Structure 1
Amino acid sequence: MNNEDEFYDAVTGELLNHWCELTVKTLYCTSSPPPSLKTTLPAPMFSRNDFSIWGILKKCIGLELSKITMPIVFNEPLSFLQRITEYMEHTYLIHKAGSLSDSLDRMQAVAAFAVSAVASQWDRTGKPFNPLLGETYELTREEQGYRLISEQVSHHPPVSAFFAESLTGDFVFHGSIYPKLKFWGKSVEAEPRGTITLELLRHKEAYTWTNPFCCVHNVILGKLWIEQYGTVEIVNHSTGDKCVLNFKPCGMFGKELHRVEGYIQDKSKKRRCVIYGKWTECLWSVDPQAFEAYKKAERKGDTKKQKQEEVAGAENEDADEMPDVQETVAVIPGSTLLWRISSRPAHSAEMYNFTSFAVTLNELEPGMEAALPPTDCRLRPDIRAMETGDMDQASKEKERLEEKQREARKERAKDEQEWSTRWFQLGTNPHVGTQDWIYTGGYFDRNYTDCPNIY
């Protein structure tokens, strides 16, 4: 198999016990799947203990992992289209933003949504299945007031486009995702690419941002763990407000592991509030003066502790050991709680560390199969086989589907035909002026007669 025929592999992650005296003005609740949906997978995950990916990755240090085939044992039973759908787990934050009259409050809710969108990656070290060209995924949650459609619109480079809308006309949420992956010897890094856009229609506001970097450590040796880092800028293109969030790298002693810290400024660049917390736990906002006073006192107490850590610290040459989790978020008096992560299922560790939301994404409810297009992820036989624990069948089906896709590409090349996307077309994001995939509509009319046969 030559390089052009290889297939893209996407990599796309503590409860509060330290409480200060504080004024907690809780704005948001948590959400959970409706009781009619499943709460567990049909079979526990397959053990990866007897497998090594060193033989595959050792020749790829410093290179982009855009054409590397990985053994199915390192997958999780979801397509990447389903994985990006997990942005919608905390849709109640979008609804909350739309209900608020003050633009600063709306930006806080949008910032909480942007952070919550990556929270499901905590401990999710399995890779999702690569979407086949033309693959789609639909999710409708009437009880949460939205519906979503996504499509794999490009294979080289791999691009996944999605569009979600409120059932009551309150918002649209859309974007196209094409992460760039690199292997660095001990870790795999995913550079975020693609603009994410949220439009609050009643306020005539549009917000845009990109995701932080994601790094999976110890892909060769040691316990896998995930780190998010980098700067995320959320811009309100209507008011000029901006939220700057710094997802902090863990550092040598792990003090900053999982931490997020930033601020919201208005169009005159005046800082209106500070945002802080952990993307694995919770997010708070507080007045900038209160934050600086707290930090000043904290720095005085940390000086001696830091010197002790520097003396005791030692770097492990064999593995990037995950630092011991430091104290949970210390809440500054006067803070407002913006978001708190939902608890995971009791047996999440045996289910690829899925959230309650992720567990439901491959479910085929009664009557659903007849209503879906033949390209929907739920109908992929390799994902379905893996979910039920049949790894041999899953591997065979994955190879069959990849071969079918290669043959279809060869036939198009022979006939000099270009692939035609079904639900999205390449265009320009009107808010940032960059290239984006725009939803063309019509999916929910349920006319799927011209959908390709990709399975």
Structure 2
Amino acid sequence: MTEIDRHLMEERMDLLKITAEVVLKSFDEFVEMSEQRVKKLTKLVDLEQKEKKMLQEQFIELAKQHSSLERAATFCSSRGGEPVSAYGDQEDEFHDAEEELTFSPNSEYHSAPLDMTSSECTSTSSESTTCTVIKKGRNRRTTVPERPDLPINLWSIMKNCIGKELSKIPMPVNFSEPISVLQRVTEDLEYADMLEKAAKLSSLEQMCYVAAYAASNYSTTCHRTNKPFNPLLGETYECDRMEDLGWKSITEQVSHHPPAAAHHAIGRGWTMYQDFTMTSRFRGKYLSVIPVGYTHVVFDESKNHYSYRKITTTVHNIIVGKLWIDNHGDMEITNHKTGEKCVLKFIPYSYFSRDTQRKVYGIIRDSTGIPKYVVQGTWDKSIDMLKVSNWNGNMDKPKVEVDETSLKRIWTVNPLPKGAEKMHNFTKLTIELNEEEDGVAPTDSRLRPDQRLMEIGKWDESNKKKLEIEEKQRIVRRKREAEMDKAMQRGEHYEEYQPTWFTKVQDELNGALIHQYKGGYWEAKQQNDWTKCPDIF
């Protein structure tokens, strides 16, 4: 073998060794990558199984979502008009909230920032409506029993959900909070001191306060996703806080199908009344509660009469994730005496917006349509009012500038009590609502046994009692239906159910059917005469 051949062979052997090393290294890398891939796939399978289990559990928590069906509302809803049932088949179609509004508050006016501190507000003539009052009357409770951390058998609930409408699924008290829808409606009055202050103002300034009051009704919805108890037909709730807070109200469940509650309240210089009924739209990932009807506020001295429809409340993450609530839509407030109006916009939440979330913005216009004031803030923190200094003259899309020195804070949310997260996230007023009280009607929500048992943490006993009460209600309903059938067969008139304290009338302002307080409740209480009340508990 020549020297050249030997050299060539050595080169080929070296090349072969290098190639073999590369192949072995590649093989090792392939084995390592395969092992990593297997581990990754194993993790993905485990994650997929966990997500599947969570999806199943969260889907059943749809039942929990039923909480917003009433509230959400509770949470805060409008009434009046021909009641539309969330419990029947509805043809109305819910449209998703638009991401782009007609105008953007930031681009249309120059004003002080929304998130001002208390000291900044003071320096710009801001004013809180949380009045300092000398406490009068009885001592109220400051706590409710803590909500027990009890497991929920979601699969047993799922069995009861098969083949049923979402709104007709029987909900155990495990998903509830220990107040009724009637008490939840009464929570609208937590900031009624704004109405007392508004009674002494000019109509345009008064409109600012009415708008802030309307927005304040939603302040608790970001904290609470559990459902209130559905009232029984004929159930009532009174709240007499005239001595310390300056108002009293009476609420009654006036219809079962569709479910509707009538509310009437009077205060120092004002009257407020509304019907609570709604419809709902379920869209897989979210559930929207759409109020039906009007809320009315009338001031005694000026006779200014305001009305407005409440906006949509949407509960997100129905299937997967943590529940959260957004309020969105346009609320048109009208002073029927003067023709002055305000369109209060609740800006929908957007993941892509850098702007303040939960924002509200409204322009108050005089009877000729000229902007005079702006109200702005957030429905969970505070609302300010400012005078309009200039505008573009466009009636359809007004762009306004405001006098920043005129800024006045007219509403600030009350802080939650210490430990509220363990007490259903109740406010101070809500804690007081279900406190036992002598002299109330036998139909009062405070006396409802299943609700009281739930409040003190006896959930099993509460669920049992709830079934008994609901069956008692069904027996009465079936009896009435049988009597109606017999009357129809005989060609006789059968009078439909009549509420005890309210009567159905036509609203003169908009033609809708509403339940008007016919009086007598407070007189019956004074005389301790409850013979008119049905036996429902």
TM-score using structure 1 length: 0.81
Aligned partner of 1:186 in structure 2 is 285
Give the Cα separation in 2 of the matches to 1:188 and 1:200.
36
Give the Cα separation in 1 of the matches to 2:219 and 2:203.
25
Give the alignment partner of residue 123 of structure 1, picking from 214, 220, 223: 223
Give the Cα separation in 1 of the matches to 2:271 and 2:380.
26
Aligned partner of 1:419 in structure 2 is 497
CA gap 1:280/1:332 in 2 versus in 1, 3 angstroms? farther
Give the Cα separation in 2 of the matches to 1:261 and 1:117.
15
Instruction: Give the partner amino acid of 1:151.
Output: E
Aligned partner of 1:200 in structure 2 is 299
CA gap 1:274/1:58 in 2 versus in 1, 3 angstroms? farther
Aligned partner of 1:301 in structure 2 is none
Aligned partner of 1:454 in structure 2 is 536
Aligned partner of 2:414 in structure 1 is 342
Are 2:520 and 1:442 aligned?
yes
1:384 Cα offset (Å): 0.3
Give the Cα separation in 2 of the matches to 1:122 and 1:281.
11
Once superposed, which parts of structure 1, at least 4 consecutive aligned residues long, lie more than 6 Å away? 18-21, 31-35, 56-60
CA gap 1:122/1:332 in 2 versus in 1, 3 angstroms? farther
Give the Cα separation in 2 of the matches to 1:185 and 1:202.
49
Q: Is this contact kept in 2: 1:64–1:182, CA < 8 A? A: no
1:212 Cα offset (Å): 1.4
1:108 Cα offset (Å): 1.1
Give the alignment partner of residue 338 of structure 2, picking from 232, 239, 243: 239
Aligned partner of 1:228 in structure 2 is 327
Aligned partner of 1:103 in structure 2 is 203
Are 2:426 and 1:354 aligned?
yes
Deviations 1:285-326 (CA, angstroms, capped at 9, x unpaired)? 12334899xxxxxxxxxxxxxxxxxxxxxxxxxxxxxxxxxx
1:433 Cα offset (Å): 2.3
> Where does 1:220-369 land on structure 2 (aligned, <5 Å)?
220-253=319-352, 255-289=355-389, 334-365=406-437, 368=438
Q: Is this contact kept in 1: 2:224–2:425, CA < 8 A? A: yes
SS at match of 1:76: strand
Aligned partner of 1:37 in structure 2 is 140
Give the Cα separation in 2 of the matches to 1:380 and 1:437.
24
Give the Cα separation in 2 of the matches to 1:411 and 1:282.
50
Give the Cα separation in 1 of the matches to 2:385 and 2:162.
45
Give the alignment partner of residue 388 of structure 1, picking from 447, 456, 468: 456
Instruction: Give the partner amino acid of 2:226.
Output: G
1:430 Cα offset (Å): 2.3
1:29 Cα offset (Å): 2.8
CA gap 1:57/1:186 in 2 versus in 1, 3 angstroms? farther
Gap runs ≥5 in structure 1: 1-6, 293-330
Q: Is this contact kept in 1: 2:436–2:446, CA < 8 A? A: yes
Aligned partner of 2:101 in structure 1 is none
1:147 Cα offset (Å): 1.3
Deviations 1:5-25 (CA, angstroms, capped at 9, x unpaired)? xx9962317985498696223
1:55 Cα offset (Å): 3.8
Deviations 1:414-448 (CA, angstroms, capped at 9, x unpaired)? 22253221111111122322111111111111131
1:334 Cα offset (Å): 3.8
Structure showing greater radius of gyration is 2
Aligned partner of 2:260 in structure 1 is 159
Comparing 424-433 with 49-58, greater Cα deviation is found at: 49-58
Q: Is this contact kept in 2: 1:64–1:181, CA < 8 A? A: no
SS at match of 2:471: helix
Give the Cα separation in 2 of the matches to 1:20 and 1:355.
26
Q: Is this contact kept in 2: 1:234–1:242, CA < 8 A? A: yes
Instruction: Give the partner amino acid of 1:355.
Output: T
Aligned partner of 1:312 in structure 2 is none
Aligned partner of 1:300 in structure 2 is none
SS at match of 2:199: helix
SS at match of 2:126: coil
Q: Is this contact kept in 2: 1:46–1:73, CA < 8 A? A: no
CA gap 1:346/1:16 in 2 versus in 1, 3 angstroms? farther
1:372 Cα offset (Å): 1.6
Aligned partner of 1:373 in structure 2 is 441
Give the alignment partner of residue 140 of structure 1, picking from 237, 240, 247: 240
Give the alignment partner of residue 86 of structure 1, picking from 187, 190, 193: 187
1:64 Cα offset (Å): 7.6
SS at match of 2:244: helix
CA gap 1:30/1:291 in 2 versus in 1, 3 angstroms? farther
Aligned partner of 1:315 in structure 2 is none
Q: Is this contact kept in 2: 1:291–1:332, CA < 8 A? A: no
Instruction: Indicate the structure with greater helix content.
Output: 2
Aligned partner of 1:171 in structure 2 is 270
SS at match of 1:214: strand
Give the Cα separation in 2 of the matches to 1:137 and 1:163.
11
Give the Cα separation in 2 of the matches to 1:237 and 1:128.
34
Q: Is this contact kept in 1: 2:160–2:170, CA < 8 A? A: no
RMSD: 2.8
Q: Is this contact kept in 2: 1:250–1:256, CA < 8 A? A: no
Instruction: Give the partner amino acid of 2:512.
Output: T
SS at match of 1:119: coil
CA gap 1:451/1:74 in 2 versus in 1, 3 angstroms? same
Instruction: Give the partner amino acid of 1:39.
Output: T
Percent identity over the alignment? 35
Give the Cα separation in 2 of the matches to 1:57 and 1:186.
21
1:52 Cα offset (Å): 4.6
Instruction: Give the partner amino acid of 2:217.
Output: A
Instruction: Give the partner amino acid of 1:205.
Output: N
